[in-house]
Structure 1
Amino acid sequence: METPALSDIPHTAARFNVVGTSGSGKSVFSRRLAEILRAPHIEMDRLFWRAHWQQAPEAEFLADLKAALDAPCWVLDGNYSRSIPVKWANVDVVIWLDYPFTVTVTQAVLRAIQRAWRKQELWPGTGNRESFHQTFFSRQSILWWTIKTFAKHRRNYEALMANPDFAHIRFIRLRRRRAAEAFLNQLQQAR
């Protein structure tokens, strides 16, 4: 399906999870979706990353996620497959940004350059910033992560969509940026 119809979203839908490989544009899409729906935007990376690139302890991360999702409506931005039992317990719609490899990697490179150049703090209060060295010459490079996990994410989400345990969730797979843009525009016009 190139652009899903708004009828594909249940009228009672209030809880959305936007997923996709790093660099696919989840955060930008999620913020726009949350604005249209007038719903809180929850960024999983913000819950996970602490100052100096320290990861939140697993139990704390999942507890923070559960607390953030204790609301009647929200737009959740992020993958973290180990969090599926928490984040999909009450989700209505999962939107998968499944763009081609070249589009995703190009977006990831441009985003990384922009962040490193501007020395932009990624999550307020953490001091975490991307650098050119970290982005292009480190084993912890987000670009390397994007390249390394692209095919794995695709296989995992295809399996999850087919899993009968998640038959209650409406999955929307957007394969092109123009389809995602059209989807948001349709939703905006319907509001």
Structure 2
Amino acid sequence: MRRILVAGITGAGKSTLARTLGERFGLPFHEMDALHFTGPGWAVNPEFGAEVARIAAGPAWIFDSFGYPEVRDLLWEQADTVLWLDYPKRVVLPRVLRRSLRRTLLRERVFGGNREKLTEWFSPDHPVRWAWSQHATRRADIGRRVHDPRFAPLQVIRFATPAETAAWLAGGAGQQP
């Protein structure tokens, strides 16, 4: 495992797992949202695709995303391992709700210095609404990719619950060979 893609729906814990593995394995962790949003007003990095391609061409990395269609195939083609956090809505929704509430109420700065605002909660692409509306679509898309011969050979480890993920990490299966 040298090129790891952590996939799943918003709120599944992709960044947390990717960061943990980066520290454990000594691999560079790249937070996709931080690469994508680089300025106020959720400004998008005009060099996003090129920057991700440059990183993905490297010998070792961990990315925490499944989103961003402009780089999705590239990452699946370059990855040697996909860790799929395939958690049900009943797990993901409370997580993303708590995170967004905390960010909104505490006015935490996130990507590009932005903050989640109460008015954004009514937008269809707000993380809580996105996790609710896109859960089945995202799950089906990842499932198709897992079996797509374009991405072979690719080691896929699917976790159906946070307990499975924790057991994998604690049991040494998450150790770098």
TM-score (norm 1): 0.84
What CA RMSD, in Å, does the superposition of the two structures yield over aligned residues? 1.8
Write the distance in 1 (CA, Å) between the matches of 2:31 and 2:129: 21
Cα offset, 1:155, TM superposition: 0.7
Report the AA paired with residue 163 of structure 1.
Answer: D
Matches within 5 A, 1:151-190: 151-187=136-172, 190=175
Write the distance in 2 (CA, Å) between the matches of 1:189 and 1:157: 21
Write the distance in 2 (CA, Å) between the matches of 1:189 and 1:48: 28
Write the distance in 1 (CA, Å) between the matches of 2:80 and 2:154: 5
Is structure 2 residue 89 aligned with structure 1 residue 101? Answer: yes
Write the distance in 2 (CA, Å) between the matches of 1:143 and 1:107: 9
Whether the 8 Å contact between 1:36 and 1:187 is mirrored in structure 2 is no
Is structure 2 residue 62 aligned with structure 1 residue 75? Answer: yes
| Deviation per residue, 1:1-47 (Å, 9 max, x gap) | xxxxxxxxxxxx21100010011111111111111111111111111
Is structure 2 residue 113 aligned with structure 1 residue 127? Answer: yes
Is structure 2 residue 11 aligned with structure 1 residue 26? Answer: no
Name the % identity.
Answer: 29
Cα offset, 1:190, TM superposition: 4.7
Write the distance in 2 (CA, Å) between the matches of 1:22 and 1:32: 18
Which of 38, 43, 46 is the equivalent residue of 1:50?
A: 38
Write the distance in 2 (CA, Å) between the matches of 1:189 and 1:55: 33
Residues 85 and 186 of structure 1, relative CA distance in 2, 3 Å threshold = same
Cα offset, 1:49, TM superposition: 1.0
Partner in structure 2 of residue 4 of structure 1: none
Residues 38 and 187 of structure 1, relative CA distance in 2, 3 Å threshold = farther
Write the distance in 2 (CA, Å) between the matches of 1:189 and 1:24: 18
Count of residues paired in the alignment = 174
Report the AA paired with residue 172 of structure 1.
Answer: I
Whether the 8 Å contact between 1:14 and 1:73 is mirrored in structure 2 is yes
Q: Tell me the secondary structure at the aligned position of residue 18 of structure 1.
A: strand
